[in-house]
Every structure is written in structure tokens, then in C-alpha cells.
Amino acid sequence: MSFLSVNQLEKSYDKQTIFAGINFQADKGELVTLLGPSGCGKSTLLRCIAGLTEISGGKIVLNQKEITHMPPQKRNIAMVFQNYALFPNMTAFENIAFGLKMRQLDKKIIHQKVTHMLELVELTDFAQRYPHQLSGGQCQRVALARALVVEPDLLLLDEPLSALDAKIRKHLREQIRHIQQQLKLTTIFVTHDQEEALSLSDRIVLMDKGEIVQNTKAIELYLAPKNQFVAGFIGHYNILTQEQANRLFAETITTSLAIRPEIISLSRLPQAINGTVISRHILGNIVRYRVNCHDILLVVDCLNISEADYFHEGERVGVSIPLSLVQSLA
């Protein structure tokens, strides 16, 4: 039996249905990401699991207990928000200790637990600082420590990295993943950033307009998107209509296709498919080309190994696409 089970969950505001018939599970220690475009219902779903938003129907079971109608504080769920939501008049130490004080734990035990958490999030030297004396990344680490210290059954993270700059975001997401794995903590992470989702998750639940479109292992979502919406949302897939697919491969293909830019290779020798380089962009480790093949514009990613390998705008190139790596779309 799954550690977390969300069954037929439904939420409406007045007559507007935000989602209905939502089903997904998480195993103990699994990190599941809810991914999807803005407004698709991810945060509402997370808040329903936390008990912060009332549901309109369905059932939630956590650690073998039905929690559907339990008050939030009884669910043993901790949540971290995008805006940290720290108490401004408390130090980092006091913020982290807050939940333990509420549970009336012994002072010595509180001190031990908070000290351990400060070490875990690498903030030992910042224990006596107030939130306004900390950077955004440090505030979010305090918020994370505050959530973890109460040893929740489930950790919910609602876009916790969105307010941070790119470099800190990457560092902190690695830290979150490391701590989550160390503690074997079942976690639901909400984001609209596909790179974040792919790099962090065991499994991704991709949502669109209040529905789950695909629920699968993170790597499978990337390698085998099941329809055009998923392929359009993940990576930089080239999406070809059936007619374009027939034209490009000069054979009968019965579905539309999704082709990852990195499986396509270019050469100076003529191939079965040939094209003309329209543009070249250096993205750091990747060189991204747009190549016109039979009036179909393909995005092609090549490793940026040396300038001597660059193809030039207007150059004729051979284009190799291994059909075995091409994904048929429903």
C-alpha cells in the first residue's frame, strides 16, 4: 500500500471546478513533483493535502490513516512556501524551535534538535540572526529546517526556490534532495520549472487545466512524453505533424512525432536527410542550431567541443536522426 494516496480528489470554488478525479500515490521516501503551467491547480492540490484548503470531494490517506477531514495541525504534514513565511521577530534558532515549543518538548531536547537541523542546512553560524539579516536562500533553509525539525510524515514544498536567483536555486535544490534522501522523507514538490522537476524528482505528475496528463518516473517523462502537451512542456522537443514526419523521413508514418534536439546529429557529408543551417546560438556547453529540412525547421543541439566544429549559417549539412529514439505521440 502507498504511503500517501490521493483518491478522486475534487476542488471547486463556487461553480468553478479547479480539479476533479485527481488520483496519485507516493511511496515512503519518494519525491514526487507536481509540475504544470501556471494556474493548472498544483498549489491548490498541495494545500488540499495539507488541509489548508477544504476539498469538495475525495479521500486522502497518509501513513495508513485517513486524513481527509483532519485539521492541518493533526496531519503531521510540514509545508514550505515560496515566500519563506518566517516569523520576523524571531531568530533563525527560534523560528526552527517554534514547532517543538508548541509541542511542549523539553528545553534540552529542543536545543539538541534545533542544533542538529542548523547543521543539516549549514546555518550553524547564523542561528542568532533575524530573517531580515539573512539572504533569501538562507531564509529558505531556515524554513526548510523549521519544517523538518518536527519530523513530519510528509513534506510539502510549494515552489520553494522560485524567489531565489539561479545559482542559489541550483545549490539549494541539490541540498533539498540530499536531505530528503538522507531522511527518507516522502515529499511532494510543486514547480512549474521542468528543469527543476527533472533534476529533483523520483516521479513527476504533470498537470494541465486541473487534470493529470502523465504520471511517471522523471526520466520517462523526458524520454517518452505521451502526447503533444507533454512534449511541448518538457525539454525542447521538435514536434512534427504526421504529414511533416512523412515528408522528413520519406516513409509512411502514422502518428505525429516528438524528436529531442540532442538525438539529431549534423555532418558535412550528405545523408538521407539534408538541410540548411538557419541559425546558430551558443548556449555554453551546447550549440543550438535551427536547420531547415524540406521546409521543416528542426532544433538541433550539439555539444560545444570546439569552434572548428561549428556549422555556419547558410551551410548545407547532412542530418542524422535515429528513428529508434524518436517518440510517437498519441
Ligand X SMILES: Nc1ncnc2c1ncn2[C@@H]1O[C@H](COP(=O)(O)OP(=O)(O)OP(=O)(O)O)[C@@H](O)[C@H]1O
Pick from 13, 69, 278, 279: which binds ligand X (CB under 6 A)?
A: 13
Q: How many residues bind ligand X (CB under 6 A)?
A: 11
Q: What character string, x for contact with ligand X (CB under 6 A) and - otherwise, covers 24-63?
A: ------------x-xxxxxxx-------------------
Question: What Å distances lie between residue 74 and 45, 71, 145, CA to CA?
Answer: 18, 6, 19
As given in the structure block, the three cell numbers for residue 10 are 475534487
Question: What Å distances lie between residue 131 and 16, 114, 188, CA to CA?
Answer: 38, 16, 25
Minimum CB distance to ligand X, residue 218 (Å): 19
Looking at beta carbons only, is 54 or 106 nearer to ligand X? Answer: 54
Looking at beta carbons only, is 40 or 50 nearer to ligand X? Answer: 40
Residue 304 class from Cβ within 10 Å (0-12 exposed, 13-18 middle, 19+ buried)? middle
Looking at beta carbons only, is 40 or 110 nearer to ligand X? Answer: 40
- 187-216: contacts with ligand X (CB under 6 A): 192
Q: How many beta carbons lie within 10 A of that of residue 144, not counting itself?
A: 26
> How many Å apart are CA 282 and CA 289, to the nearest integer?
9
Minimum CB distance to ligand X, residue 19 (Å): 8
- 59-88: contacts with ligand X (CB under 6 A): none
- 136-195: contacts with ligand X (CB under 6 A): 192
Tell me: does residue 18 bind ligand X (CB under 6 A). Answer: yes
Minimum CB distance to ligand X, residue 117 (Å): 28
HEC string for 165-226: CHHHHHHHHHHHHHHHHHCCCEEEEEECCHHHHHHHCCEEEEEECCEEEEEEEHHHHHHCCC
> How many Å apart are CA 37 and CA 160, to the nearest integer?
16
> How many Å apart are CA 325 and CA 200, to the nearest integer?
24
Looking at beta carbons only, is 48 or 148 nearer to ligand X? Answer: 48
Minimum CB distance to ligand X, residue 188 (Å): 12
Residue ranges that bind ligand X, judged by CB under 6 A: 13, 18, 36, 38-44, 192
